[in-house]
Structure 1
Amino acid sequence: MSDRLRGFGLSPRAGAGRLVDVLVAAAVAVPVFVPFATAPEVSPLGVVFNLGTVVPLVWRRRAPFAVALAVASFAMAVSLYDRPGQALQYGALVAVYTLADLGRYRWQRWGFIAVLVATIPPGALLIKDNDAAEFMFTLLLPMTAFLLGTLARTARERSDALVERSAQLERERAAEAARAAAEERSRIARDMHDVLAHAVSIMVVQAEAGPVVVRTDPDRAERVFDAIADAGRDAMAQLRRTLGVLKEEQDHGVRAPQPTIGALPELVEHVDRTQVRVRLTVEGASRALPADADLAAYRIVQEALTNTVKHANAREAEVRLRWTDHELEITVTDDGQGGGGADAGWRRGGSGLIGIRERVAACGGTAEAGPRPGGGFRVLARLPFAAVTA
């Protein structure tokens, strides 16, 4: 069936609409021409005029206004020429309904007036035995048809608006899901970078020092290899937690445990096993932090120490946590080449140091890094309590 419709240049939907229009025209033709079967005399001109109120309905969807005018003209001719031909102007009623339902707003009024005039049989005004009841009846019918068409149009437009609104909401939900997925991928990428960069940096430094220590200090060599193994095991554990986020969130909607500021002593101990001596200093009374700030504090220190081990060629570093009434101030300093590798690593915008900026900004804080006047490098981050807990 659809192939046949395409052969006539019609889509399946348009072809179905045309078929409905043909059936409507056929249904209207039945009451129009039934009186001719019992009429004592049938006029060929009367048949033509009556056909004119039926045939144009086949195109009622394509040109509602033109069809309404054509049907109204033939209906007027039927009323004047052969009044018994149609007790009611069925074609005109269908035309005015279609005009209200599918026609352009600016043409509806004129088309309705034309059909209204045509469907009030002029004979009702010319023949004396037509009373007021018949006149009102012929007047109310087209008005009712127009009202029904308007109601159908309103219902369809409301349905279309609801469908469009639903589609818009679906697009917004899809965009929000895509944005959330992108943020989650970015978060996981930062966490994986922090874990791998820190662990691999420590392992590389220890491995490079291993051959020298084995020859000069065999007892210390054992501690060096233990540090490499510990760094590897710690990296594996943190990777499992980070990658486990994907399955945990999919299955249960919760995240796996993440490292917090309470794990900093262990982090400092791991780095201290390298050639860099690290000291942790805490000032002020510690306070409970929200989960995002707690993780951010840990990752900031982790990335800063990783930068020190990789770039600074430092021998000593210090991690200072200063708790105030309004913010947590995190300072990581070293005595390495502040104007060299560490500074260059920050200014190049490595993903780890960019991650520090992003984490601090997400918590409403500030971050800065650069060489110290007396030598070495410093990373300073401030996490305000008010912004974090808002």
Structure 2
Amino acid sequence: MTTTGANQDAAGTTARGWWWWGRRRSAVLDGGLALVSALECGLEGSQFADSAGFFVPGGVVFGLLAGAVLLVRRRWPFAVVLVSVAITPAEMGYLLGLVGLYTLAASEAPRRIIGALAGMSLVGTLIVTFVRTHQNVLDTGIESGRWYVPLVAILMSVGLTAPPVLLGLYVGARRRLMESLRERADSLEQELSLLADRAEQRAEWARTEERTRIAREMHDVVAHRVSLMVVHAAALQAVALKDPPKAVRNAALVGELGRQALTELREMLGVLRAGEQVAARKAVGGGAGSVPEAVTVPLAAVGVAAAAAAAAAAEDGPGMEDIEALVGESRDTGMVVELSVQGASRAYPPEVEQTAYRVVQEALTNVLKHAAGAKVMVRLAHREAEVAMQVENGPSDGGAQDAGLPSGGNGLVGMRERVTALGGVFVSGETDAGGFRVSAVLPDRGAA
């Protein structure tokens, strides 16, 4: 975080112990001004005491003390002005008055106090100048018009009061402006730091989301296809010697399922590579106004790649029209699967169709893993503003041979994530008959 000038001054004051001075040169300047003012007031005090018949050393001491008040001008500027006004009748403290008015006008004092004290100084100087000029005219015997004494008094009082006040107001306004700009720069720096942190968080979220999506796709593709391949391979082993024609069919099915799994994996990886290339081109060639920072490309590329990959995968992935073929593949393994479709089929957004297909696919895979030999009912309902699907299996056949397929426990979690991401509802659980039911409802416009 950048340290402001005020903070630096405060730190310097605390570290060096310069009382109310933020810097050493400020203390030296005020000390020099106070010394000059004290000498001036001491000389003028001696002249005033001599002309008035007072004790001259007392006038000198009084002048020295009054002029030294300038030392506290930064801490108590109003006190300096009041002292200068008080000694104006003795024609003392010209430097004290000028510097005091400037310091007061440049300070953070309220405008009404500045105006009141400046007015007092103006009136006092005006009266003293008027009296002294009138006395000089009488003593010298110079003939002058009635306008001479008032004009000289006004010019002298305004000349001794207005310039320091105006200069102080200007310097004070400029100082406040610089402080506000410095504070604004500090706040902008903090905001930029927060934005950078948020951008990094969004990039990390995008990377995590993309990893989760890839893991979900890999699970759906590999788990279902490989599970069917394992079942067919087991059947092939069992009938290889007893029924060669059936073994040939099972071997062909295993090969076909393997080719389908490889095709889907290749398409998914190709989509990811294409998304990363598009992201890199957009990040690097963003135009003349883009920021060519080294850290900007990866952060932008992650989000764009994730979006491009997800959209492309949804466009090229399987849809609801492939559910019937999916059911047929399960039947080929020996499962008893019934498909019921209600309502007129229509086109849905790609992500809705792919999610519906993946839900049915994962549910059938789970039946194959955990409820071998169970009867399965797949229901698909096209409604006015949504599409619903349900996969329900009865209790597993105790006599059916376990396929021995491993399970990571991520299938239901992945289905729920897919459905809820589109604003749908997902419910799963055991049935009263001892089976298992998976139900999902997706809105017609899940992409929105």
Q: TM-score range by the shorter chain?
A: 0.5 to 0.7
Aligned twin of 2:128: 126
**1:324-370: CA deviation from partner (whole Å, max 9, x where unpaired):** 3232121223344399xxxxxxxx99432122223223333323334
Counterpart pick for 1:93 among 102, 111, 118:
102
Matched, 1:199 2:225: yes
Instruction: Give the drift of 1:305.
Output: 1.2
1:260 is the counterpart of 2:318: yes
Query: Aligned pairs, how many?
Result: 355
Equivalent residues in 2 for 1:49-88 (5 A)?
52-53=69-70, 66=75, 68=77, 72=81, 83=92, 85-86=94-95
Distance 1:367 1:82, change over 3 A: same
Instruction: State which structure, 1 or 2, has the greater radius of gyration over its C-alpha atoms.
Output: 2
Q: 1:151 to 1:311 in 2, by over 3 A?
A: farther
Name the % identity: 30
Which stretch of the first structure deviates more once superposed, 25-34 or 248-257?
25-34
CA distance in 2, matches of 1:244, 1:47: 91
Of 143-152 and 31-40, more deviation after overlay is shown by 31-40
Tell me if structure 2 keeps the 8 A contact 1:338–1:376: no
1:308 equivalent in alignment to 2:334: no
- Give the deviation of 1:297 after TM superposition: 1.1
| Match of residue 299, structure 1, among 325, 340, 358 | 358
The alignment status of 1:383 with 2:442, answered yes or no, reads yes
Is the deviation greater in 295-304 or in 120-129?
A: 120-129
Offset of 1:196 from its aligned partner?
3.1
Letter in 1 for 2:350: A
Deviation at 1:21, TM superposition (A): 4.6
1:323 corresponding residue in structure 2: 382
Q: Distance in 2 between matches of 1:373 and 1:38?
A: 108
Code of the residue aligned with 1:126 in structure 2: it is V
1:271 corresponds to: 330
3-state SS of paired residue (1:86):
helix
Q: What is the deviation of 1:308?
A: 1.1
Asked if the contact 2:105–2:165 (Cα under 8 Å) also holds between the matched residues in 1, the reply is yes
Distance in 2 of aligned mates of 1:266 and 1:80: 111
Superposed displacement of residue 249, structure 1: 3.6
Amino acid at match of 2:385: H
Contact 1:32–1:90 (CA<8 Å) still a contact in 2? Answer: no
Equivalent residue for 1:213? 239
Instruction: Give me the whole-angstrom Cα distance separating, in 1, the residues matched to 2:276 and 2:424.
Output: 31
Listed as ranges, the gaps of 5+ residues in structure 2 are 1-9, 46-59, 134-151, 279-303, 399-406
Distance 1:245 1:379, change over 3 A: same
Change (3 A) 1:165 1:226: same
2:176 to 131, 141, 153: 153
Q: 1:367 aligns with which of 417, 420, 426?
A: 426
**Other-structure match for 1:4:** none
Preserved CA contact (<8 Å) 1:332 1:378:
yes
Tell me how far apart the structure 2 counterparts of residues 323 and 241 of structure 1 sit (CA, whole Å).
29
| Structure 1 residue aligned with 2:140 | none
Secondary structure, aligned partner of 2:313? coil
2:355/2:418 contact within 8 Å kept: yes
Q: Work out whether residues 42 and 67 of structure 2, in 8 Å CA contact, stay in contact via their aligned partners in 1.
A: no
- Distance in 1 between residues matched to 2:121 and 2:332, nearest whole Å: 101
CA distance, structure 1, for counterparts of residue 377 and residue 129 of structure 2: 112
- Shift of the 171–330 alpha-carbon distance from structure 1 to 2, 3 Å rule, reads same
User: Which ranges in structure 1 are unaligned for 5 or more consecutive residues?
Assistant: 1-8, 61-65, 101-106, 340-347
Please state how far the C-alpha of 1:300 moved relative to its aligned partner: 0.9
Whole-angstrom CA distance in 2 between matches of 1:316 and 1:260: 25
Query: Does structure 2 conserve the Cα–Cα contact (< 8 Å) formed by 1:227 and 1:274?
Result: no
Q: CA deviation at 1:282?
A: 3.8
Task: Give the Å deviation of 1:311.
Answer: 1.0
Distance 1:358 1:49, change over 3 A: same
| TM value normalised by structure 1 | 0.67
Cα pair 1:28 1:91 within 8 Å, conserved? no
- Structure 1 residues 278-301: Cα deviation after superposition (integer angstroms, max 9, x where no partner): 455544332221233122112211
TM-score (norm 2): 0.60
In 2: Cα distance, 1:300 partner to 1:155 partner: 63
Q: 2:34 touches 2:69 (CA, 8 Å); kept in 1?
A: no
| 2:240 aligned counterpart, secondary structure | helix
Contact (CA 8 Å) 2:343, 2:381: kept in 1 or not? yes
The question of 1:190 aligning with 2:238 is answered no
RMSD across aligned positions (CA): 4.8
Given that 2:318 and 2:357 are in contact with CA atoms closer than 8 Å, whether structure 1 keeps it comes out as yes
Mapped to 1, the partners of 2:353 and 2:264 lie a distance apart of 16
Which amino acid in the other structure matches residue 351 of structure 1? N
